[in-house]
Amino acid sequence: MPDARSRILQRVRRALEGRWPVEAPTRPWRPAVEETGAVARFLAHAKASGVEAHRFEGPAAARNWLEDWAAGFKNAAVSPLIPEALRPSLPAAPPEKAELGVSRALAAVADTGSVLLSSTEGRRLQLLPPAHLVWVDESEVVQHLGEVLGRLADDPPSALALHSGPSKSADIGQIMVQGVHGPGRLVVAVVRGLAELEADPTEPASTREAPSHTPKTTPPAALDWEAVHALEDHRLATKRGDAFTVEKVTENTAVVRVSSSNKTYTLRRRCLEKAARLASAGTPIPGPAAYRKLACNEAPAYAWAILHTLDLI
């Protein structure tokens, strides 16, 4: 006897029988080109939706602000992804008891004034404390929402979320109330040089302050990209034993194809280099979970396997 699934699909097919399929619009929506910079637009839009948005020229300035600002709280639940220098000096508390939650955003979107958060750091600390502080690197602020949606196709964590303001409701007589279930305060701090600080957390933040408007210098990579090139067309296996092939290596990315599902994932050179740097500085990266936590969220199983093959971690 056919089950509900096949009966529903059969009814769908019968309903569509004899109809021409409607063509999809030829390409995803292409938003307008913006004249204002992404960071300025982000800050303006976020503030308009009730976000307390700040911008810092470097981690040291951010640190200074944090020390004063965080003094207003008793305790905090802090994401494991936050570098030491930007963790508030407050006693740690579980999210359901904490007065403040501190997150590291993957990105920020100027169009909508949103920050993109990942479940990798934990979801409760993003939701339960009445105030939520979110750090994001200046280079991670993009103009358009479409620019961050690609992450959904790239071995995403169990949940991503866009937060665009404090929790609010007008369900009681059309009167706006803040902090209904989620945080009643959303504070976003855009910091120049946060990613560099994370890549090389050994140096104290104060000495790392880059003078404004000079090109960023990346520390030399422990990863020889040529070695990754040499893996092209090689068949490797993840720690769990899933086979995949390094299909194509370009200047900045490596594409792998998983043998069982035939899915492809793109690994960024920047991420692989970051992990290699951390490993060469003595941080142990025993498996994909640690890679995900310390380096990048993208396809950690495959990225880790490549670095492991090259004896870098």
Partner 1 sequence: MAAKGYKAAARRTLEHAPEVREAVTRATLHFDRNRERAYGEVEAEAWRDWAAATKRHTLSRLDRYLLEAERNLTAPGTEVHWAEDAKDAQRILQELVERYGVRRVVKGKSMLSEELGVNEHLERLGVEVFETDLGEYIIQLAGEPPSHIVGPAIHKGLEEIRALFHERLGTPPDASPETLAAVARRVLREAFLTADMGISGANFVVAETGTVVLVENEGNIRLTTSTPRVHVVFVGIEKLLPRARDLEVFLQLLARAATGQKIGTFVSLINGPRREGEPDGPEHLHVIFVDNGRTSVLADREMHEALSCIRCGACLNACPVYRQTGGHAYGQVYSGPIGIVLTPGLKDPRLAEDLGYACSLCTACADVCPVRIPLPKQILTWRVRSTKHAPATERLAFEGYAEVMTRPRFYRLSSKLLRLTAPLTGAPWLPVLGAWAAGHGALEPSPKSFREIWEEELDGA
Which of residues 15 and 33 has its CB atom nearest to partner 1 in the complex? 15
Least distance to partner 1 from the beta carbon of 183, Å? 7
Q: What type of residue is 186?
A: L
Residue 16 as a binder of partner 1 (CB under 8 A): the answer is: yes
Q: What would the x/- binding string for partner 1 be over residues 149 to 168, using CB under 8 A?
A: xx-xx--xxxxxxxxxxxxx
Which of residues 88 and 165 has its CB atom nearest to partner 1 in the complex? 165
Q: Count CA within 13 A, CB hemisphere, residue 171.
A: 7
Q: Pull the structure tokens for residue 4.
A: 């509900």
Residue 222 zone, left/alpha/beta (φ > 0; ψ -120 to 50; rest)? alpha
Long-range contacts, stretch 200-204, CB < 8 angstroms, 24+ apart? 200/277, 200/281, 201/83, 201/84, 201/85, 202/281, 204/85
Residue 174 as a binder of partner 1 (CB under 8 A): the answer is: yes
> Which of the residues 183 through 222 are near partner 1 (CB under 8 A)?
183
* Distance linking the first and last C-alpha atoms of the chain: 53
* Sole window of 61-69, 221-229, 272-280, 289-297 interacting with partner 1 (rule: CB under 8 A): 289-297
Count of residues binding partner 1 (CB under 8 A)?
77
Cα–Cα distances in angstroms (integers) from residue 192 to residues 80, 85, 201, 273, in the given order:
20, 14, 15, 20
Which of residues 168 and 208 has its CB atom nearest to partner 1 in the complex? 168
* Sole window of 61-69, 222-230, 272-280, 285-293 interacting with partner 1 (rule: CB under 8 A): 285-293
Residue 13 as a binder of partner 1 (CB under 8 A): the answer is: yes
Which of residues 228 and 258 has its CB atom nearest to partner 1 in the complex? 258
Least distance to partner 1 from the beta carbon of 309, Å? 21
Q: What would the x/- binding string for partner 1 be over residues 55 to 94, using CB under 8 A?
A: -------------------------x--------------
Which of residues 170 and 281 has its CB atom nearest to partner 1 in the complex? 170
Q: What would the x/- binding string for partner 1 be over residues 225 to 264, using CB under 8 A?
A: ------------------------------------x---
Q: Count CA within 13 A, CB hemisphere, residue 195.
A: 20
Which of residues 23 and 251 has its CB atom nearest to partner 1 in the complex? 23
Which of residues 212 and 261 has its CB atom nearest to partner 1 in the complex? 261
Among 31, 37, 72, 286, binds partner 1 (CB under 8 A): 31
Residue whose entry in the numeric block shows the structure tokens 């479940």 = 119
Q: Which residues contact 84 (CB under 8 A, 6 or more apart)?
A: 201
Q: What type of residue is 24?
A: A
- What is the number of residues in the chain? 313
Helical (H) or strand (E) element with 275: helix 269-280
Residue 298 as a binder of partner 1 (CB under 8 A): the answer is: no
Question: Of 281, 231, 276, which Cα lies nearest the Cα of 256?
Answer: 231
Question: Of 197, 219, 192, 217, which Cα lies nearest the Cα of 207?
Answer: 197
Least distance to partner 1 from the beta carbon of 168, Å? 5
Residue 180 as a binder of partner 1 (CB under 8 A): the answer is: yes
Question: Of 196, 246, 177, 190, which Cα lies nearest the Cα of 43?
Answer: 190
Among 54, 55, 99, 112, binds partner 1 (CB under 8 A): 112
Helical (H) or strand (E) element with 187: strand 185-191
